[in-house]
Amino acid sequence: MEITMRKFGNSVGAIFPPELKAVAGDEYKIVKLGDTLVMTPLRNNLFDNETDWTGFRDSVSQEDNEWDEIDD
C-alpha cells in the first residue's frame, strides 16, 4: 500500500486509507530507521486496571507454578 506525505500547516502527515482501520485520536510512537518510519501504537500499562486481573490467580494451574519454578 502506498500513501503520500502531505503538508498540514507547518507539519507533514499522512492520510491513512480506510482499509487500515486507523482510529482518530489513537497515539503512536514513531521511530525513524534510516529512511523508514516505524509507527508503534502506545498501549496502556498492562497493570493499570485492577479489575482486568480479577480471578487471574484462580486461573493459574499447578503446571503453571511448576514452569515458574524451573531453574534456568
Model pLDDT for residues 22-46, shown as the tens digit of each residue: 999 999 999 999 999 999 988 877 7
What domains sit in the chain, N to C, each tagged with a CATH number?
1-43 (2.10.260)
Q: Match 514452569 to its residue by C-alpha cell.
A: 67
- Residue of 49 and 28 predicted with greater confidence: 28
- pLDDT > 90? residue 54: no
Which phi and psi angles does 59 have, rounded to 5°?
Answer: -90, -10
Q: What whole-number distance in Å separates Cα of residue 36 and Cα of residue 38? A: 6
Q: Match 503453571 to its residue by C-alpha cell.
A: 64
- Residue of 5 and 68 predicted with greater confidence: 5
